Structure 1
């Protein structure tokens, strides 16, 4: 399907700010499951914009506003075609072991997904006697969807995973970090994905950037799973990039001088149509 995306981030400052440096990760990725037809980044006031690819291959824009300003607008517009991909076939867990060395960075602990007994804390039974990795992942995805409660007021961007494990109420970022903690402890390479969701009113998490999980399946590649919506990541999921956790793919972050305590407003609109 064809998706048109408009993502605006606005900062309002009570006093003049200057030398605002922002790191922007809003450019959708180019890969087998999607084709980026166009991307434009508009900044007001005028800014110096450069770009590079980060360690994980995502395009990162650097926005530097030298002059004094009380209002900063960063607007990203993209047109992306998403493509249907086949579901994986039955694959034994044992096929993972020769592959784990190539994906160590998606198995080890990170600041937001620290080491811990996450399968036990979330009540997940280790897959003893189960020999179909994709089926296990799909069942785990469904189980977490039923177990967790989507609640935009329950957590913040900095809520620790251990705190979420206690009340199990939160948003897509929390659901994703929980599934990462569980799968990594089970020896399954897993990475955090940031992107957009065309929901058509059917799914939650489309009001801003969305998050889901990609788990490595030997012979198939990275399988996208969305525990927030109990589905695989298919044509309605538009990927920006991936990393170990949220911090690696946060959409916009930066620093500035002056300005006082600023306010940030974010709006995301995704329009979809058949190709």
Structure 2
């Protein structure tokens, strides 16, 4: 799929603020499943933009607005091409044993995925050593899709996994964190993925940044699953980056000096070319 993405973020302030520092994670990854053909970022007020790669390999843009301002507008435009994912090869769950230590950071607790008995909390089945790992991952994806109701506005970035389990309503971020909690508890390395999804494929989550999970499968590597949409990752998914959870790959984060709170507005459009 060849897609054009327009992502606009605006912060409006009732009174001037200054020294606004922001980290922007909107540049899609380049890997075997996708390639970035063009990327442009524009900031209002007009200030220089610097860039570096973070610990997880993601491309991060930095913006510092020193002078007082009542509007911060960040617009990113991307042209990307994605390819079909290769089906993972069969592998028993027991084959993960030698791979757990190299990927231990994706098995440990993280800020938004704490230690817990998450399979029991969410009513999910624990795998057996001889279970086929790709089959288990797809079954869990389907289970979480049926277990919860996609409800924009029902949760926010502060909602805990326990609260999500109790209400049964949330968005892609919650689905991804739930799957991460279950997989890490049963010893399957898993990481959080931030990106976009094309709504024309009858998927939900295209109105903003999307989130899903990548699990490690011996012989296949990191493989994506989207429990919000009951599917393995397909061409409609555009990956930005990955980390332990949302905290590592939030699209825009930062701080500023001032005595007022900003009003946030985000618009995301993904066009299939």
> The TM-score by the shorter chain falls in which range?
over 0.9
Counterpart secondary structure, 2:86: coil
- The aligned counterpart of 2:229 is 229
Partner of 1:207: 207
* Uncovered stretches (5+) of structure 1, i.e. residues with no partner: none
Is residue 172 of structure 2 the alignment partner of residue 177 of structure 1?
no
Aligned residue number for residue 131 of structure 2: 131
Matched, 1:119 2:119: yes
1:8-43 deviations in whole A, cap 9, x for unaligned?
A: 000111111111111100000010000000111100
The more displaced of 147-156 and 97-106 is 147-156
Q: CA deviation at 1:128?
A: 2.5
2:101 is paired with a residue whose SS is helix
Runs (5+) with no aligned partner, structure 2: none
Q: TM-score, normalised by structure 2?
A: 0.98
- The aligned length equals 273
| Mapping for residues 58-207 of structure 1, pairs under 5 Å | 58-128=58-128, 130-200=130-200, 202-207=202-207
| Secondary structure of 1:179's aligned partner | helix
CA RMSD, aligned part only?
1.1
Partner of 2:51: 51
Give, in whole Å, the separation in 2 of the partners of 1:259 and 1:58: 32
Matched with 1:254 is 254
Cα deviation 1:197-249 (Å, max 9, x = unaligned): 01216111110000000000000011100000000111000000000000000
Whole-angstrom distance in 2 between the partners of 1:253 and 1:175: 22
Which residue in the other structure is 1:26 paired with?
26
Spell out, residue by residue over 1:152-199, the C-alpha distance to the aligned partner (whole angstroms, 9 max, x if none).
Answer: 132111101111111221000000000000000010000000000012
Question: What is aligned with 1:5?
Answer: 5
Normalized against structure 1, the TM-score is what?
A: 0.97
Give the Cα–Cα distance (whole angstroms) in 1 for the partners of residues 261 and 243 of structure 2: 30
Q: Does the 8 A contact of 1:18 with 1:259 survive in 2?
A: no
Residues in 2 aligned to 1:70 and 1:10: alpha-carbon distance in whole angstroms: 10
The separation in 1 between residues aligned to 2:227 and 2:214, in whole angstroms, is 11
Q: Within 2, Cα distance between the matches of 1:30 and 1:201?
A: 22
- Give per-residue Cα distances to partners, 1:56-75, cap 9 Å, x unaligned: 00000110111111111100
Question: What stretches of structure 1 move > 6 A for 4+ residues in a row?
Answer: none
- Cα displacement (A) at 1:87: 0.5
Aligned-partner SS, 2:182: helix
Distance in 2 between the 1:101 and 1:202 partners? 38
Which deviates more, 189-198 or 12-21? 12-21
Are 1:272 and 2:252 matched, yes or no? no
8 A contact 2:35–2:81 mirrored in 1? yes
Query: How far apart, in 2, do the equivalents of 1:259 and 1:111 lie?
Result: 28
Give the drift of 1:256: 1.1
